[in-house]
Structure formats: structure tokens, C-alpha cells
Structure 1
Amino acid sequence: MFGGRRKIEASFPALTIEQCLAKTIKQPDGVVIPGRNILEHCHIVGEVAKEILARMPDWIRKDLFPDGSDLIAACHDIGKISPTFQRKIYEALSLEDKEILSGFKGFEPSLEKQWGGHAGVSQLTAGTQDIGPWIPTILGQHHGVSPNPQKYRGNDDIFGGEPWLALRIEIVSRLKKALGTDFPLVKNALQTRVLSGLTTVSDWIGSGSFFIDPKDMNWKVKIPDALDCAGFIHPELKPGLSFEGVFGFPPKDQQVRFFETANEHGVYILEAPMGSGKTEAALYAAYRMMEKKQATGLYFALPTQLTSNKIHDRVNAFLSKVLLETSPHKKALLLHGSAWLKEKEIGEEGSPGRSWFDQRKRGILAPFAVGTIDQALMAVMNVRHGFVRAFGLAGKVVILDEVHSYDSFTGTLLDALVKELRSLHCTVIILSATLTKERRSSLIEVDSRQDAYPLITAQQKENGPLIEIVSEKESDVYVEIAHRSEEEAIDEALKRSEEYQQVLWIENSVKDSQDIFRILSARGKERGIVCGLLHSRFTKSDRSINEDRWVHFYGKNNPDRRLEQGRILVGTQVLEQSLDIDSDFLVTRIAPTDMLLQRIGRLWRHEETKRPDLASRETWILSPVLDSVMDSPEGFGRTAKIYAPYVLCRTLMVWEDLLKISIPGDVRKLIEETYSERQDENEAMIRYFQQVIKKREDLRRLALLGLATEGKTQSDENAMTRHNTIPEVDVLLLRSCHQDALRKTTIVRLLDGSEISVPLNGSAISPNERRSISARLMQDTLRVPFFYAPGGGRPEWLKDYFYLGDKEETLLRIGLLSEDGEVRSVEHRYANDRYAIRYDAVTGYQTTKR
């Protein structure tokens, strides 16, 4: 065995540059033949990087990508010129070159994990050159993680000693000559991140189908087509569109003030009431920035998959108005755990079963995308390929919606994200109906002194003056408030629905929403009242159907159907964000003030909606009496497990005696009274407050660990963008599945009764077929707490269609749904030892203790 730092020469000469292979090719008959050598592959990747840079606006390139960046990308694979890698690649060939292999004795490929594989050797080799500390880091992490091979040196015997080091240095010299450039000066960590993104993306494209054939020497002319295919094409916008021309109605005063203010790179916060048109104001500001070539695209980030699904529709409607017919990009991608780019996978990380297969890392590169906040947060976290996300966001308009809904853990990450986005020349737009002054100040890093509402806050240049614009306030709308018992509320909801009112009932937990729904549905059935339920534990297919149905009933575009009968829609927090629903009467469980205001925003949302004569703008809040929960938070029920008892008690102090509030007149006052510090707290409240402060600080420190660049890089599947003490897992529900050994496939019967065949070897079918199978199966998945999931081992037969996690993980469970609605394990036993599990399209995923 070779010692880690020994510097004696290896016992055999280095290969020639032409003999050092970067790739192999598996032919249709299964024969593996040599692919591109390392020099050719590296040169291709360098030229791809050069073309990507040429397509960037000058204002991004000149600051973030110094001349010579393409050489960094080209040198990513120089570490493949090492005995362990070359032994591995030659052994993979069907026609082995025995003469070459005979010299590799003692160079075990399994040892590569000690120094991070060929990427670690690239890093060590670059470290022998006088090019600063950042470029070796970039080369080392081009597969998404930093190898950190500190106990090794570039000329160690295990890497081939001096002869192989000289060969690696020689290939660098040839790449310099081929690209006509030298290494640049990389100044800081930010440049390192975006250059790492450029390197990885260039490698991804340069490893694709356009460049596979090693006999094709005319590859350079194919680079523009390869970039076009990957999506690196500038969108084409219609010039000079007015707000009304885009949305079909004239802008309000605050919308005009906002998009006239948000006219250059910076951070902009729009605080305005629910339903006041914040989304349209942000999108039009984005259009104006893109039209004048000051933004490269748009990423719209929301708290949950549910909310991003609905905004995705609205963003696509917006794009259909602002894009020319000739624009190569027509729609926004939907990016979260169940969506991906539709181009075929290319490059080493795109092979079936790899973490790149879900393609979220690449999806954020698209000019237009909608997704969860998590995808953006990982741009500042120490997660696998986090720097690809940073590279993809550079220069875009990034809209962060519903920011009030994040705790101090995600809030800490969000503050770091906003700061990095500014450095990436982004236009950051933050939307909320219910921000505190403290939270607004931390987002913009300047103390805000303004108490007005609605409010526009802006800082256009980093460390520049703070701009605070008091928007013209709309007329106050008064909402009646009543505090009643659950039994009274059930009777009232049924009575109102009999009067043809559309009733909304919001609970804080899935279990509570299911329990209330069963009561209302049973009693409403006798009276001909239609009841529905929306929460997060439906399969994607059923959730989409349910959402569309109830948005149809409670939306603004269907006045006739709305008035034909009364209805009751029960749900959880999913109803308070982004769904365009409008109720005549609202019942809500007690929640923090900002959440209550969001829910009230779903009451009489559209002024033009026709309502029954007996309807009144009224909300009933279900809550315990304040004195009963001061010493015993159990009185809040499951709500105390979701929201801090201190905040719930403070909310009750503010709301308990209210009979009427005005919107937007009382919004700022209610928020600040709930969250501002008080000196007259009693002993119980002081204890609750100390718990909140401790948890907030613990979460802040935990979040900072996720931002640290030291230590082990997390996989993005395990990255903590939310603090959730309850681990969750995806569940795939099927009617049945059985393997057909003869056909080497699994026959799956889906929830709708249809059957599909899932080949055991996904690489034997085309990427499009594989993606189609994955997409169909994904429609019958949902996410639940780990302890509610069906038992069972790792479903290896799905590894080419879902990312299952590392060997020790199981990120997907399978449940078999019987005709009577019981969920059982794949062995047809109880799905879960502790809970009986049922599922139906009306109630969703239900668990009952055995």
C-alpha cells in the first residue's frame, strides 16, 4: 500500500495524455467501449463554459465571472489522470487492455473515497500551483461536495507520484493554450460559489449526448445547440406593456408606487392587506426589470408545495401575456419534490438512481420557475450542489412570498439568502400582509422606523439609504369577531350554509380538520349541504382535483354555481395561503395574530362577489378562555404543539375582547401588540416567554450551522430548511404490485385501477419513458410523519424512478390500498404496528391508534 505523503516515484510510468480516458460508452448490445479522453472532455467543458459566459449580461459577468473562468471549468477533471481512476475506467471496458492494466497493481479504486475521488485529486493538483486558495476548492467540489483531502499531496505515490503529477500539469498547459487564457484571480467565497456552479453546469452539458462520440472531432460547432437544448436561451418579451395590458384591470395606487420604486437591483418589501394585489404588483415589477434587460429571469418562492402549485398557474398566465410567440421559453417550471426539468438527463449525475435524477438542482437554472422557498435557501447552505442554485439565481428577480410564515430557523436562513441575492445582482421582492417592524428591519438590515400600513420599504444599493413609502390606504373594512364554543360553531356553520352561504372552517392540524369534517359532513348530508376537506395529506392527484373543485366553488369566476347552494369547506393552514378562495362566513381555531389575519383575508375577499342577503362579514374564533391556559397550555389542544403557547396567549390577550376589527386599519396595531415586548407579564407568561427566547436562539444557532461551509456537506434531501422535529417520508399508495421475473418488470395497479409496467432496469429504457413512469407514480404519493408511514424495507425496484436516499436511508415507503380503504404493507400485513391507516379521496390519509 502506498503511504499518504510519500514522494517516491511510482513503479510504472504514466500513461500518455491520449490514453487517459474520461468516459466510457455502453453500446446497445451491452459492450462498453472507450469514450472521450480527458483532454478532449476538459476542452469541451471549457468551451461550453465560455459560451455560457458569452450569453450572460455584462453586468453579471464583469463582477462575478473574471476572465479565465472558462479555464477553471475546463480543469475540473484533471484529477482523472490518476492510477486508481484509470484502473477503474479500463476495468469497466469490455475489451480490456491487459498491457495497460498490468501496471495498476496496488492502485485499488476503492481507496478513492479516502480523498474524494478524482475531484479530490483535481483539488490537490491545483493546490501545487500558485493560483490562490479558491480555484482548488472549485475543482474539488464540482460533483457537489468538498472532498477535503487534507492529509494528501498532489505528488503522493497513490496518485502516481511525480510522473503523473507532471502529466496533470501538462494537461493544464494544453488547456490554457486551447482556450487562450490563464487562471483568473478569484477574490472571495461568493465568486467561488458561482464559479463552482458554472463549472458543474458546464460539465453537465459537456458530458451530454452532443459530445459522447469520441470520433467526432467537429464537436465545437455543436456547443450552441447543446446550450439551446439545455435551456440557456434568452426569453423574448413583448415591449412596452402596461399593467392593465398584462392583467386586464388598472393598477391600484399602491401597485403603481411599488413597481415604480422597484426599478433597479435591490431589496423591496411590500406589506399590504390580503387580496390587495401584491402578486400582480411584484410580477409587473419583474416584467419591467426583464424588459429593460436588468434581470435574467424570475424565481417565485413560496412556503409550501400547495401554495407554489397555485402560484405556478398564475405565473404561467402572466408569462402568456408578456412573452412573444417566438420566445423559446413559454412557461415557468414548477420546482419542488415532485417536479423537474423535462430535458433528458445528461452527465454523470443524471444516471438513474442518482440524486440528480429529481433534477431540482438543475431546474432553478431555468429562466422562469416557481417553487418552494427551500430550493432558494439551499443556495446559501452547505448542501450538495448548493452552489448550482446560487449560479441559477444570479441576476434574476426573486419574489419571496408569505415571509411571515417562517420561524426563526428558516428566518435566519432567509436573512442570509436575501444578503447573498443582493451580491448576485438580483432584484429581491418580499411580500407579506403581516410583518412586524423587527422582522422587516432584519430582512433589509436597516432599522425601520415606519409604523404605517400599507407600506413599501426599499433599499436599492447595498448600504444605501432606506426608502419607506406610505401607500395610500384603502377604505377600512370591518369584520365582526365572535368567540364561541365548537358546538355553537358547528350549528352556526350548518345554519349559514342552509342560507346559501359559503362557509370556511380552518383547523390547525390534519387530525382536527378530519374530525370536524366528519361531523359537519354527516350532519350536513341530512340537510343537503355539500362539505369538502383540504389538507396536506392527500395524494398529489387527489389534492389537485380537490383544490380545483373548491377553488371553482369559492373563486371569483363562478357566481352562478356559488349561489346555487350553501357549502362548507374545512381545511388546515393550506387554506390561508395563495389559494384564491372567498368565503361568506369564517370559523377558525385560535392561531397567532398574523395567521388569523391571513385567514380573515379569505373572508369577503372579492368585492364584486354576489352574496346571500343574510350574509355578514363575520369570523368566529374557537379558543379557550385566557385564564384557563395561562398555567396549562394543554387547553389549546393540538394547537399548542404547532404554535408556541406564549404567542397563543399573547394573541388571546389582544383578541379576546375584540368584537370588531378594521382591515387594513388595525393590521399593524394587532401585529405589534402581539409581538412587542411587555413589562407587565405574569409569572406564567414570563416562563412561556423564556421558552420562546430559548427556542428562538437554539433555532438561530442550528440554522447557522447549516450555513457553515466547514464540516460534512448535507444531501439536499436531508437539508434542514425548516425546523421539523418530526421526520417525514414519502408514501406511494398502490392497489397492488407484483414482479414478473420473466419480463424483468414490476406490474403496478394504480389507485385509479389502471396498470403500468415498471422495468426493473430503468437504464434499459429511454429517459423519457423513465420520466413518464416516475411522473405517473408520483401522482399517487403523499408525505406523512415517519411514525405514520407504512413499514417495509427499501423498495429497490423503484431506485431508477425515485431517489431513495443513501444506502442506509429509505425516503420512500409503499402502502397497498384495499377496496375498503385500509392501507396495508406490501406483504399484505398491517401497514403500521402502532396505527391503523386508511385512505380515501374525500378524507385523505387517516391514522388511528390500535
Structure 2
Amino acid sequence: MLSEGWSGVPDAGVPLESVEGPLGVLWGKSAERAGGQTNLLLSHLLDTGAVAERLWESFLAPSTRGLLDEVAGGPGRGRRLFAWLCAVHDLGKATPAFQYQWEPGARAVRAAGLRWHGPTVANQKRRWRHEHASAYLLMRALRRVGWAECHVAWVWPLAAGHHGMFPDEDAVQPPRQGRGQLQGGADWEVAQAGLLERVTVELGFEGLAEVQPVAVPARAVQLHVSGLIVMADWIASDKEYFPGLPDVSQVSMKGARERAGSAWTKLGLRGGWGALAGPGPEAFRERFGVEARPSQRLVMQAARDMEGPGLLVVEAPMGEGKTKAALMAAEILAARFGADGVFVGMPTQATSDPMFGQVRAWLQALGRGDDLASQVALLHGKRMFNKEWRGLVEGRERVGGEFGFAGVDEFGCEGDVYGMGEQGRGVGERSGAGGPAEWFLGAKRGLLCPFVVGTVDQLLLAATRSRHVMLRMAGLAGKVVVLDEVHAADVYMSQFLVEGLRWLGQAGVPVVLLSATLPPGQRRELVEAYVAGAGSREELRLEALPEPGGYPSVTSAWSAVEGPCVRVDSCEGWRPDLSVALAVCSEPVPGPRASRVQERQAQQEADVAVVDLLRAQLEGGGCALIVRNTVVRAQSLYSALAGVFGVGEVMLLHGRLAAGARAERTERCLGLLGVSGPGVGEGRPHRLVVVATQLAEQSFDVDVDLLVSDVAPVDLLLQRIGRLHRHGDRVRPPGLVVPQVFLTGLGGGPVEGADAGSVCGGGPAFIRASEVIYGRHLLLRTAAVVADALRPGPGCGSGSGAGVWQVPGGVPGLVAAVYGGEELVPAGWREDAGAARVEWEERQRERAQSAVPFLLTRRGDKEGVTLAGLHRVAVAASGGAEGGLDGVVRDGEMGEEVVLVVREGEGEVVRTLSGRALSVNGDVADELIDDVLAGTVRLPGGPASSAAAALGPLPGWVGHPRLRYARALVLDGLGWGELGEHRVHYDDVLGLTVELARRWPVR
């Protein structure tokens, strides 16, 4: 029922001259959403301010408190300002535009003499949202008391954006069609001013004028504070801990602080290590049980020598110990610059899992006695298949659905955030004592946990113009950010990485980047992005950026008063170079018009060549890794090898296995071949062949005796070589003492005889899928450096040769050559290579440009001073669980995920992929939810993923918090299913195979 029409005559009631009347009726939450009784708006504002005080005392990093003290005018002043910024976020609820929406509350407001014209307020085409009203009222009030315009300009967007989007100033004005009724007349102005004054005084200020800051914070700091405001609001909106208070006489700052203190304790919220002491000279051994290597000491010294928070780019060989060095650098930087935790970003979910254990072990070794290791959050969608994470959260109350507090709707009440589904809800595991607080495990809140290990996507998403991006920035600012394998970011992802580094640089966040194979151009781009952000510059070119003089190396960059400072140091590696023998195991490469029969025949011949090679090489035992560029090639080769060696000696690992099976196989593989695992005769297999896809390129810490790899761009090829003879002291089987790499996926002839003729317009022939994935340009340049190294010698198949690469000493030169602009390919390939370069450069430009609409700032806006209009054109929120925006930062390369279930015969019995029975409609008991989700598998991009868009959840999944957005792909009892016009099959050993209805390159 809508509010009554405005008569123009105030009702009898408390005189408006007394503010207590309006303050006693203006509601912030309805009784239905506040535990059964109305929560007054004054109560919610003071509660939020009290929560902010708790955040200041027990959560904010020392660096954040220092920044806010500077903004507020000196030490100790930031606390009040921060609490005030949080408290006034919902001032706009003191308007007819909000108060009319709940009829019982509206009646009380009218009875107090605050009136409006009901039809005018209710029938607006464009609603005036309360967060916009908050910004409008703040602008008006602050200008009236004489605030400088520069401070008004940065403060009002914080209120306007507390529901996740930053509008421009025009958007927060009340619609003209409202004829002044939406914001209210003179009587409303008195009530609004009285409410703001009451909150301001309760927080310790003499009046509104005294609140005015003395400095304008950088825009990245504003974004950080905005995220903290959202956090305070969400906590203070939890009806369990902040039930309704309908009587204004019960509302006080003292009471709000008591409520906030109780809530904070019960929620178990906490920050990180607080003020951290700088590690001493023995810290490395104390943390890791070994002495630091020269390169690790180099990294730590670089962290100590930085004159301000900045960027460290660490380039060192695979197996050099970059991760340990980065964690020690994080500890040093945190102690020096006031960070309160770490975020470690990895390229994939699979690489995040082992890093989770390493970070926990490091924190445990700090020996502080406050159980920091239990406060590490693993942040990716498949974390419940990580046994260490499960061990951290199991044994406590777990639910299949939402828990704790999910977020606030437009009324400031619990519920779906603007219809965003699980994007705005907490879904997943409960945690209790001994693990991260349950509150942190909700959607969009994971980065706020003091210690986080997850995929790099978490940082990339913080650089998108998406809703609630401020929560991501609040989770990164105040930490030290460590990103591993940064070379893995392609040109599209790099746009978000560069944007993220700009914001982190401006926020003063120390960042450590790790890579073994970083192209020089990418290093320059990353360094320039960070220092440009630190200087709040649109563009910055470091004309004198030094190149590393050795390998390993550390490039340090920070901002000083006189401008950016850059320093480059290098040292010797911890072990001598390996002479890695290269050989080409050529195979038939079908042309673009080959039939499917011809393609299958060529694949069979390629498999036979590798089988024969391994039969000879592993005759005396040994462990080999084979990396194929596509799942289809990996599956085919596995089948051929298993037929010769037996399934017990061959393992298959790729991204199209069900989530549960993939996690188990990865763990088993790392256990058998891990760098720190047992030596031969102490548990290491006598013979094992692992057939994998690109999963084996990144942070896959295994040690193998032999490598067979499809040709890939040189940096990725070198990453694969990094798994070879990784443990220097291991005893190798006879014949495998010398590290050997056999290259596959290309035709024979012109690689070792570079000018011997044309196979494909001048250069060598590569399998079609490799060219689709990587482009011919980089493959040709990689083939050129291979050709340069090859020399006559024994090999495999026709046109074979052998050569040597010095690893790791030769790594920087090889990468620089392939990614540089110098002429590299033999004369006979140049026409082919020229055309490939033109095509590659055009594709690079297209992919880079396609990221622009999603970036947090636009060209020309990177020197902006406030957050106003940041979301003028925002990324559309996708439905589904958190992480639904992954396709935005990965160029849609990730195919759709489906949950595989099995329906037997003509009946209606549905089973999980592992065989456990569900109900007729697929209803899932709580104890089966993880078993259902263990059947999640990612489809290849392209037609199969497009067809999956038509799938939906099973009937029994509709409404289930963790399954309502899941796409169910139903298989028959033999593992077959239909996906549009395509057929799919799932095999417990091979994983998912897809038969497309028409020809298409399948990865």
C-alpha cells in the first residue's frame, strides 16, 4: 500500500523544531528485515560508525591508518574521520524517496510531521536510489558549512558508491519530475541536518565543519576506503548482531559500540599480523630450514633497499627458489611499509593449491603464537577439492547454502544484491575457530581475509569496471601482493594486469612479480604501469630503464619526490647451467584440407613415434613428462602408451577431467614426482610417464628425467624444460643422466635444414591446433632458435637432429630473441615469417582493444582525482557463483563448466559421476553436494561451450544455493550425452571427449 497523498498540513505530533521527533521515526530497516522490530536509521548509522572503529582498531593495516591520519590532519585524527565516512553512508534514507517504501514506517514518519505527495514519490520512471540521495544530501550539507569543494568532490562518491557503483554527479541529483517531493521540503531539511549533526557529534566532532579533511587522498586510496565502507555497512546490517532498535531513547554511540564489540567477537573477525617486526639475518633459515641462496639474498636486499613502497620484478630460473624469496621480501616490505597481510596470485587453480600449503607453512614458521597459518584463505572455485583446505574447514558446521550475512539490498537489509544471484551471496563453507572467519568466506569478501592465496584473476577483476570492485581493492590494499608466473598473462589479460598495477602503485601497495621467462617488453610495461600509477600519471615512459646484467635479476621501482626510481641488480644462480640436449621427433602434419581420416592416421603415426621413443629411452626405468598442446592429443597418446607400458605406469592430466578426479591426480603426481619428494628407491616410481597439457607449464613442481614436448613459444617451452632434472642431487637411471628434450608437433625438414625448402610457405609445418592457440609468428621464431641450436646427431624419425641449450643461463637471451624485433628466421622462411608477423600483430591489437571496455579506467581518465563516474559504463554482472566474471579477464578463453550426472536406462534414477544416487528430480542432500560438484568439468571453448548455454540445472537444483546456476549435462549409463548437435563422452580415465558435428579445432 502506497503512502497517503500529501495534504500540505502537517500532522499533529512531535514538533519539527525538536530533532528527536524525526530521529525517533526515520527507519533504516523494516521490522521484517531487522529481527522483528524496526531499526531506526540513526541506530544503523551509529552501528556502522562503531563497526568502523572496530575495523580501525583490529583490521586496518598500519599503512591504511597512516594514510587516513594524513588525510585527516595528523596522527590519531584518521580514526574519527574514517568512522564518520562509514556512518553517513545511508544519510539518503532520510528522504521521502526511501521512507515511503515500507507502509508501517511511512505512517510513523507522517505522524511525526514529515509529509510528501504519495503519487509523485511513488510513480517515478527513474527511482532515486538512497545511495544517490546520500551523496546529494552530503554535497548540500558540506557546502553549506563551508567545506572546500575539493573535499566535497571526493567524499560524496563514497556514499554514492556504497552499493557497488560510482555514478557521476548528474546521476545523483533528484529527478526533476519529482518536483522536490523525493528529497522533501524545508521540514525534511531540518530532519536531515539534525540526523547528520547528531551522528557527527556522537562520533566526537564538535560539528560538521570540523570533519573537513586537510588533504585529498589519491583515488586508489578513495577506492580502498570505499570498500571498507561497504564492509562496515554489511557487518552492521546483520540482524543477528544488530537487531532492530525502535526506541530512539535506546540509541546511543555507547550502545552501538557495545553491539559492534559483541558482533566483532562473535564473528571472529581479525586482521593479519599488525605491526610486523623486520626479519633478522637468520630469518630465512628459521622460516624454511635452509640457508638462503645468492638470488634469494639478492631479493631480500632489494626489498630492504627500496626507499618507498614499490615494485620488485624477480627473474630467476625454474627451481631457483623464487617463491621463498618472494615470501621473505613480502615480510620485509610489510614490516617497512605497514602492510598487514599478503595476497599470492597464481596463474591457475591447480597452481594455487600447492602454494596454499607453502604460504601456510611460512606463516606457521613466523612463530608469533597467534596461529596466522589458520587465517589463510584459498580463493578459487574448486577449493573444496583441496584436501588441506577441507581439513581447515571440515569438522565445523557446514551448510549447502548461504551462511552468515550475504550482503545488503537497496533497503540496507539482508538479501540478493540487486538481483545478482550468488554474486551477492555468501555460498559455501562455514568456518569456525582455527580457520578464516566465516564472514570472509562469503562471495566478494574473500580478498578481505588477511592472508589469501588464489588465482591472479582476483587481482585482474580488481581492475574491471564491475560492481563492488571497491571490495576487491580493499582486499588488496594494505597487503603485499605477490604474483607468480606473470609471463603467463597473454596480451588480453595483460591489459587488466597493467591496469591493476597502476591502481596498486597509486595506493602504495608493495608488489612482487615473479617469472622465469619474462620478455623484456613485458617487464618494461609492468614497471612503467606501476610507477605511472604511483605518480598519478596517465602515461610514463622510463627512457633509461636498465636491462638486467645477469640472471637471476631483480628490478626495483618506486616513486620518490624527484620522480620514479629504478634499480636493477643481478647475481649468479645457485647451480651451474644444465646442457639440455634438444632433438626433433618429427611427425606427419596434415594440411588444412585433410580429411578426418587423414588427421586420425597422422595422429596415430605421431603416437607410435613417441611410444617407440619412450620404449627405448625408458628401458632401464625413469620418469618422463610429455606435454601436448591439446587435450585431444594428450588423450590419444595416453591410450597408445597405456597399451604398451600398462595403466599403472602412465598417468593422464589435463583440464577436461572432472574437478574431483583432476585434484586427486594432481596431488598424486606431485607426491610421486615432487621436487621435495623421495629419491629413486625411496618411493619414486621405477618408471612413470605423465602425459599432460599446458597444466605442466606453471608452478608444477615435479622433477622428471626426460621431457617430450609439443613445440610452443620459447618462454612456455622453457617453462616445460624447467621440470627436467629439477633436483640436482637425484640419481638418474642409466641413459637419462643427461637432460634431454624431444620436440614434437612439427613436421620434419626445414627446422634443422633451415634453407632446405618449403614445407608451409617457407617455414616448418606445425600441427594446426598449435597455430590456433599460439599463432604462427611465435612458433616460427621459436623454431628458428631451435634450428640455430640443432646439430647433426642421433634422433627420432626422419629429419631429426640434436642440439644443446644452456639452461638456465641461456633463458633470458632465448626469450629476448624470440620476442624481440630483430630478424631471426632463416632467409628461406622470411616471406612466411613476415606474413605471420603481420597477422599476429593485428590479432594482438584486436585482443588488447577488446579489453578496453572492461577496464576500470578509460583512456584520458587515468589522472582522475575522484571516484565520480567511475562506473559510467559498467561491466554487466553475470549470473552464477562468484567468479562468473572470469571470462571477462580471460578473453572468453575459458569454456563453460557443466556438472556431469548419469541417468540410467529409461528410468529416472540420477546418479553423480561417482555413482551415488540422487532423488528423482536430482535433489541433493547436504552430504552429497561435494560429490555432485566433483563431477564439474570444463568444456572446450567454441561450439561445445556455445551449445552448453542452453543447459540448466536439474529440477531439484533450482533454488539450491550452490547448484541453482549449475548447468547439468546428463549422460547415459555408458557415459554418452548430447550437447546440442554435438556428442560428448566421459571416461573415468580419459576424461571428457567431444565429437563436434562439424570440423572445428578442439583444444
Structure 1 and Structure 2 fold alike (TM over 0.5): yes
Give 1:227-626 correspondences, 5 Å limit.
Answer: 227-228=264-265, 229=267, 231-235=269-273, 242-263=283-304, 265-290=309-334, 294-327=338-371, 330-339=374-383, 344-348=404-408, 351=415, 353-357=421-425, 358=427, 359-445=442-528, 446=542, 447-462=545-560, 463-473=563-573, 474-485=575-586, 486=606, 487-525=608-646, 530-555=649-674, 556-559=676-679, 560=681, 563-615=684-736, 616-622=738-744, 623-624=746-747, 625=750
The change in CA–CA distance for 1:449 and 1:293 in structure 2 (over 3 A counts) is closer
Give CA-to-partner distance per residue, 1:563-591, whole Å, 9 cap, x none: 54312111111111112111111110010
Alpha carbons 1:246, 1:321 under 8 Å: kept: yes
Question: Is 1:50 the equivalent of 2:53?
Answer: yes
Superposed displacement of residue 558, structure 1: 3.0
Superposed displacement of residue 632, structure 1: 8.7
Which structure has the bigger radius of gyration?
A: 2
Alpha carbons 1:835, 1:849 under 8 Å: kept: yes
Residue 75 of structure 1 aligns with an amino acid whose one-letter code is: V
* Alpha-carbon distance in structure 2 between the residues aligned to 1:530 and 1:262: 45
Alpha carbons 1:500, 1:563 under 8 Å: kept: no
* Alpha-carbon distance in structure 1 between the residues aligned to 2:653 and 2:836: 32
Residue 459 of structure 1 aligns with an amino acid whose one-letter code is: A
Superposed displacement of residue 561, structure 1: 6.0
Aligned match of 1:220: 257
Aligned match of 1:128: 140
Aligned match of 2:985: 838
Superposed displacement of residue 642, structure 1: 1.0
Give CA-to-partner distance per residue, 1:313-348, whole Å, 9 cap, x none: 221222222243333662411112345997723542
Aligned match of 2:944: 788
Gaps of 5+ in 1: 3-7, 738-745, 763-768, 805-809, 824-829
Alpha carbons 1:440, 1:448 under 8 Å: kept: no
Residue 435 of structure 1 aligns with an amino acid whose one-letter code is: L
Which range is displaced more, 556-565 or 398-407?
A: 556-565
Q: Choose from 17, 21, 25 the match for 1:19.
A: 25
Give CA-to-partner distance per residue, 1:254-290, whole Å, 9 cap, x none: 1112112213522111111111110111112223344
Residue 781 of structure 1 aligns with an amino acid whose one-letter code is: T
Alpha carbons 1:477, 1:662 under 8 Å: kept: yes
Give CA-to-partner distance per residue, 1:743-795, whole Å, 9 cap, x none: xxx99743333457899999xxxxxx98x876564433233237425443466
Alpha carbons 2:653, 2:662 under 8 Å: kept: yes
* Alpha-carbon distance in structure 2 between the residues aligned to 1:751 and 1:245: 45
Alpha carbons 1:270, 1:432 under 8 Å: kept: yes
2:100 aligned counterpart, secondary structure? helix
Aligned match of 1:712: 873
* Alpha-carbon distance in structure 2 between the residues aligned to 1:757 and 1:37: 46
Q: Choose from 898, 902, 906 the match for 1:731.
A: 898
RMSD: 3.7
2:511 aligned counterpart, secondary structure? strand
Alpha carbons 2:160, 2:172 under 8 Å: kept: no
1:457 aligned counterpart, secondary structure? strand
Superposed displacement of residue 468, structure 1: 1.2
* Alpha-carbon distance in structure 2 between the residues aligned to 1:760 and 1:10: 59
Residue 82 of structure 1 aligns with an amino acid whose one-letter code is: T
2:101 aligned counterpart, secondary structure? helix
Which range is displaced more, 70-79 or 194-203?
A: 70-79
2:24 aligned counterpart, secondary structure? helix
The change in CA–CA distance for 1:106 and 1:512 in structure 2 (over 3 A counts) is farther
Superposed displacement of residue 661, structure 1: 0.6
The change in CA–CA distance for 1:132 and 1:753 in structure 2 (over 3 A counts) is same
Alpha carbons 2:121, 2:181 under 8 Å: kept: no
Aligned match of 2:780: 649
Alpha carbons 2:492, 2:889 under 8 Å: kept: yes
Give CA-to-partner distance per residue, 1:42-78, whole Å, 9 cap, x none: 1111221233223435433232563323222111112
Alpha carbons 2:272, 2:451 under 8 Å: kept: no
Aligned match of 2:161: 141
Superposed displacement of residue 96, structure 1: 11
Gaps of 5+ in 2: 73-80, 144-150, 206-210, 394-402, 428-441, 529-541, 587-605, 752-757, 790-802, 858-869, 878-882, 998-1003
The change in CA–CA distance for 1:223 and 1:327 in structure 2 (over 3 A counts) is farther
Give CA-to-partner distance per residue, 1:705-748, whole Å, 9 cap, x none: 322235332237336553424563221223469xxxxxxxx997
Superposed displacement of residue 309, structure 1: 1.6
Q: TM-score, normalised by structure 2?
A: 0.74
Question: Is 1:816 the equivalent of 2:836?
Answer: no
The change in CA–CA distance for 1:601 and 1:303 in structure 2 (over 3 A counts) is same
Superposed displacement of residue 797, structure 1: 5.6
Alpha carbons 1:134, 1:188 under 8 Å: kept: no
Which range is displaced more, 746-755 or 445-454?
A: 746-755
Aligned match of 2:170: 150
Superposed displacement of residue 407, structure 1: 1.5
* Alpha-carbon distance in structure 2 between the residues aligned to 1:97 and 1:43: 20
Which range is displaced more, 204-213 or 354-363?
A: 354-363
Alpha carbons 2:650, 2:688 under 8 Å: kept: yes
2:320 aligned counterpart, secondary structure? coil
1:128 aligned counterpart, secondary structure? helix
Which range is displaced more, 428-437 or 611-620?
A: 611-620
Superposed displacement of residue 838, structure 1: 1.7
The change in CA–CA distance for 1:720 and 1:646 in structure 2 (over 3 A counts) is same
Residue 648 of structure 1 aligns with an amino acid whose one-letter code is: L
Alpha carbons 2:625, 2:689 under 8 Å: kept: yes
Give 1:680-699 correspondences, 5 Å limit.
Answer: 682-699=830-847
* Alpha-carbon distance in structure 1 between the residues aligned to 2:123 and 2:695: 48
Give 1:145-184 correspondences, 5 Å limit.
Answer: 145-148=165-168, 150=170, 153-154=173-174, 156=178, 157-162=180-185, 163-181=187-205, 182-184=211-213
* Alpha-carbon distance in structure 2 between the residues aligned to 1:85 and 1:749: 49
Q: TM-score, normalised by structure 1?
A: 0.86
Which range is displaced more, 651-660 or 257-266?
A: 257-266
Superposed displacement of residue 103, structure 1: 7.1
Give CA-to-partner distance per residue, 1:602-635, whole Å, 9 cap, x none: 1111112232122131000112345434569984
Superposed displacement of residue 811, structure 1: 5.6
How many residue pairs get aligned? The number is: 810
1:812 aligned counterpart, secondary structure? coil
* Alpha-carbon distance in structure 2 between the residues aligned to 1:295 and 1:699: 35
Q: Higher relative contact order by CA 8 Å / sep ≥ 6: 1 or 2?
A: 2
Residue 568 of structure 2 aligns with an amino acid whose one-letter code is: E
* Alpha-carbon distance in structure 1 between the residues aligned to 2:335 and 2:111: 61
Aligned match of 1:59: 63
Aligned match of 1:765: none
Superposed displacement of residue 166, structure 1: 4.5
Alpha carbons 2:92, 2:133 under 8 Å: kept: yes
